[in-house]
Structure 1
Amino acid sequence: MALTRIAGDCDDGRTCPTVYASDRGTLVVQGCALGAADLAEITLPDGELAVEIPVSLLLEAARAHGR
């Protein structure tokens, strides 16, 4: 899978929440993994994870992807 960063850019060079566009026509989200205590109200199927990102990052990704 080829990924292109479309939103998210840390000024200090560290990894941070980021949104990528894939060559499969999908988006890949990098964020902080949530634990069971955070996910008490939802059930994730096997093979899925939940990550947390700032709303501003999602808005930036939507603008960038709509170009």
Structure 2
Amino acid sequence: MALHLLCKDPESPNNGSPTLYYDDETHSYLLQGWRVTDAAARLAGITIPDHETIVEFPPRLLRLFPGAESAPQAGAPSPADEH
């Protein structure tokens, strides 16, 4: 498995996250973001299964996401497709 760095928030303090990766084994994306610390208030209307989580990232990261034409092509179902 190899994770490929696709984009990183250039305005992030300490050069950390949010960061978007592509996993060439599962053909899926991983988003490193900020933990939602006030989940009771902000996520009250969302049903989140035990095997999932929610991460937060700023709108400025969206402009750095690769477009569909330049994103890696999926050749196999992702783990999300199996749930």
TM-score of the pair, normalised by structure 2: 0.64
In structure 1, runs of 5+ residues without a counterpart are none
Structure with larger Rg:
2
Query: How many positions carry a matched residue from both structures?
Result: 66
Matches within 5 A, 1:11-50: 13-23=14-24, 24-34=26-36, 35-50=39-54
Q: What percent identity do the matched residue pairs reach? A: 36
Inter-partner Cα distance in structure 1 for 2:32 and 2:51: 16
Q: Is the 8 A contact 2:9 2:60 kept in 1?
A: no
> Higher helix proportion, which one?
2
Deviations 1:18-60 (A, max 9, x none): 0001112111001011123220111100111101112221231
In structure 2, runs of 5+ residues without a counterpart are 71-83
Q: Is the 8 A contact 2:8 2:61 kept in 1?
A: yes
RMSD (Å) for aligned C-alpha atoms = 2.1
Runs of 4+ in structure 1 deviating by more than 6 angstroms, as ranges, are none
Counterpart of 2:7? 7
Of 66, 69, 78, 1:66 maps to 69
TM-score of the pair, normalised by structure 1: 0.76
